[in-house]
Amino acid sequence: MILPGNTSCQGCPISLAMRCLDEIENPVLVIPAGCSTVVAGLHPNSAMKIPVIHVPFASTNAVACGVKEAYKRAGVKANVIAWIGDGAADIGFATLSASATRKDDIITVVVDNEAYMNTGTQASLSTFWKAKTSTSPAGKADEKRNLALIMIAHRADYVATATVGYIEDLRRKFGKASQSEGFRFIQIHCPCPPGWRFPSEKTIEIARKAVMSGAWALFEFYDGKLRFSGIGKKFAEKGNRIPLAEYLKVQGRFEHLGDEDIVAIERAIDEEWEILKRFSGE
Amino acid sequence: MQGNVQTKSHRNGSRVRKLLTSNEAVAEAVKIAKPDVIAAYPITPQSPIVESLAKMIAKGELDATFVRVESEHSAMAVIHGAATAGARVFTATSSHGLAYMFEMCWWIAGSRLPAVMAVATRSIGAPWNIHGDHTDIVQLRDAGWIIGMAENAQEAFDMTLQAFCVSEEVNIPFAVGLDAFTMSHTAEVVEIWEPKIPPRRQAYKVLPSDNFAVNAVTMGKARMKARYDLAVDLENSAKVIEKTDKDFGNHGGLVESYRLDDADFAVVMMGGWCGDAKDAIDMLRQEGFKIGLLRIRFLRPFPKKAVKELGGEVLVVDKANSDLRGVLGIEVSSCGVEAKNVVAGIGGVDVGVDDFYRIFKDFMNGKLEMEWYL
Ligand code: SF4
């Protein structure tokens, strides 16, 4: 799906996620501005083995909707994928929300690296609690927005969170989305070496620590039910988690955190798990 | 307002005369062109166009997909996507709506996708004003669109049909301008007829079976070359417009010449108020003044040749400004034609036959400097 020698940074989580696109039948990618644009290749080349429609930032879900509606009328079978970063989910949020509400028959994938990496690591609505970015140099005061929960509130047909740390789980979710219909949404946790400031060989390790510490919850929502999924399921139990500091302390963006900061973040994460558990009935 | 069938013209068996607003006339034309995908967000005074189309779809008179979007930005994005996948597309907007979709207007033109959009031309805030002028549509000038300006409901109908043919032949989107309220909401008798519109054509479409990246990041010259090609093709679209105009009402091509043949004085204007200007010209002609009108039907491609050929003294009357100058005035002077320029009618300020009579007479008597007619 993605050719070797593409222009991603070493250890890029997005290129890992793109490799899994072969789980999706007849894919057509719609990509707005962001790291994915660059990873997908510069004109006249393309790093992707599938069609890519590059579009402006806020438009992605609407363009994908138009593509799909045209295919439907022409009888063309395709999984149209709005492939956006957390930045496009910010600027294109109204578009995303409308697309989910209309139940556009498309797959939306958010590669969430918790900041605007392509413009040099500015804070997004998805930036993790207290993370340092170039526009939150003292650490971001406001909380990380839970986009997947918001999509569940839209009664999307399929919502899943995934991570590049557990590729088999991610592949299974892509496969499931491919076989379903309606508005499908997958948010992929994407630890970014330059943006989060960790060595590029540690992407998988950090992605897994996010899950193991409870900082990133893996779940699926379909048929009106939320279910914790895959390897992440056991971390719904707080007792099974590794200490949060083990996830945070290996990243440069958290180098300023004191013990009391970590306690505060942990409390916020616990609250979020409580909400998820209430949704799941587990 | 609902258009009623009034009489049936026997001049040409298939022609039906209906009392229609320009909004309704545009909707009738779109129905005949059979678009696949329509997307729009409501804005005054455009809304009746897409409301009419939604009704036609609901009644089964038109087989099209109507996508309700949350903004004009998305309206243009939906039709951009649908056109990329090969569908015939339509949207309509006005004023702030056009401003909001501006980014996508560049993308659909830069992607060389055919599309048709009606623009009920209206003032842009601040301050708030819902009335007519040309300040919205003139902003499309640099985006690479074909921009037509109709004078009445008949022309709005004919031009909308022509728009699908031209746009799909030259792979450039086409905006049909109709003045807010004076056209959009004013009923006139329109001859409805059903020309054959060729099946959808376009330079490329993206299908799942292709390995094709469209609009990837360019380095250096590729972007400039794309912009150059668009400029050249936009210029060449003049020929296609001239040719197809013969089949769509024969309104004169890029311009309409009104009593210009022997004129010592030429007025240059565009849009719905040209009808009033023509009446004023008729009055002045009766008084012996040799005055005529060059009605600009297309702001893009701009009719440079017709403007350059203007003899005598030239006056441009504008409904949109850029600093103290009128936008059409700037366009005319860019052709090397020295012209007086009046800016009038902004925000729906009423300018009628009497006003034109006065402005034109002052101009011919040498009493008019460049000014704002407030
Ligand atoms: S900045 Fe991060 S997300 Fe972007 S290409 Fe580099 S590693 Fe990938």
Confidence band for B12, pLDDT divided at 50, 70 and 90 = very low
B78–A63 C-beta distance less than 8 A: yes
Q: Please, how many CA atoms are within 13 Å of residue A124, restricted to the half-sphere of its CB?
A: 27
Any atom of ligand 1 within 6 Å of the Cβ of A117: yes
A66–B87 C-beta distance less than 8 A: yes
Quick: pLDDT tens for B146-155.
999 999 999 9
B86–A69 C-beta distance less than 8 A: no
Report the gap between the CA of A225 and the closest CA in chain B (Å). 28
Report the gap between the CA of B180 and the closest CA in chain A (Å). 28
Least Cα distance to A191 among A263, A125, A128 occurs for A128
Any atom of ligand 1 within 6 Å of the Cβ of A161: no
Report the gap between the CA of B35 and the closest CA in chain A (Å). 11
Confidence band for B6, pLDDT divided at 50, 70 and 90 = very low
Taking residues B174-180, what's their average pLDDT?
Answer: 98
Q: Residue A282's pLDDT is what?
A: 65
- Which parts of chain A have pLDDT scores under 70? 282
Given a cut of 80, whether residue B10 has pLDDT beyond it is no
Contacts of A70 in chain B (CB under 8 A): 36-37, 81-87
Alpha-carbon gap, residue B287 to B289, rounded angstroms: 6
Given a cut of 80, whether residue B181 has pLDDT beyond it is yes
Of A42, A51, A62, the CB nearest to B81: A62
Q: Residue B374's pLDDT is what?
A: 84
CA angle B198, B203, B206 (to 5 degrees): 110
Taking residues B109-135, what's their average pLDDT?
Answer: 98
Distance from the alpha carbon of residue B293 to the mean position of ligand 1, in angstroms = 60
Contacts of A35 in chain B (CB under 8 A): none
Confidence band for B9, pLDDT divided at 50, 70 and 90 = very low
Given a cut of 90, whether residue B287 has pLDDT beyond it is yes
Give nearest CA residue, ligand 1 atom 7: A12
Any atom of ligand 1 within 6 Å of the Cβ of A115: no
Q: Residue B369's pLDDT is what?
A: 72
Question: What is the token pair recorded at A91?
Answer: 């600027």
Contacts of B225 (CB under 8 A, 6+ apart): none
Q: Residue B3's pLDDT is what?
A: 39
Q: How large is the ipTM?
A: 0.96
Distance from the alpha carbon of residue A14 to the mean position of ligand 1, in angstroms = 7
Taking residues B220-237, what's their average pLDDT?
Answer: 96
Q: Residue B14's pLDDT is what?
A: 81
Confidence band for B370, pLDDT divided at 50, 70 and 90 = low
Alpha-carbon gap, residue A247 to B157, rounded angstroms: 65
Ligand 1, pocket-test mutation among A39, A122, A192, A197, most atoms within 8 A of CB: A192
Given a cut of 70, whether residue B1 has pLDDT beyond it is no
DSSP B304-337: HHHHHT--SEEEEEESSEETTEEHHHHHHHHTT-
Quick: pLDDT tens for B19-45.
999 999 999 999 999 999 999 999 999
Angle between helix B221-245 and helix B102-110 axes, rounded to 10 deg: 90
Ligand 1 atom index nearest CA of A15: 8
Confidence band for B220, pLDDT divided at 50, 70 and 90 = confident
Report the gap between the CA of B63 and the closest CA in chain A (Å). 10
Contacts of A67 in chain B (CB under 8 A): 81-82, 84-85, 206
Quick: pLDDT tens for B309-330.
999 999 999 999 999 999 999 9
Q: Residue B240's pLDDT is what?
A: 98
Contacts of B110 (CB under 8 A, 6+ apart): B144, B215, B226, B227, B230
Contacts of B84 in chain A (CB under 8 A): 53, 63, 66-67, 70
| Angstrom distances, CA of residue A150 to CA of A96, A123, B179 | 11, 20, 42
Given a cut of 70, whether residue B11 has pLDDT beyond it is no
Alpha-carbon gap, residue A242 to B30, rounded angstroms: 62
Taking residues B251-273, what's their average pLDDT?
Answer: 98
- SS3 of residue A228 by DSSP: strand
Question: What is the token pair recorded at B254?
Answer: 């890029």
Distance from the alpha carbon of residue A194 to the mean position of ligand 1, in angstroms = 7
The structure's pTM equals: 0.96
B85–A71 C-beta distance less than 8 A: yes
Distance from the alpha carbon of residue A120 to the mean position of ligand 1, in angstroms = 10
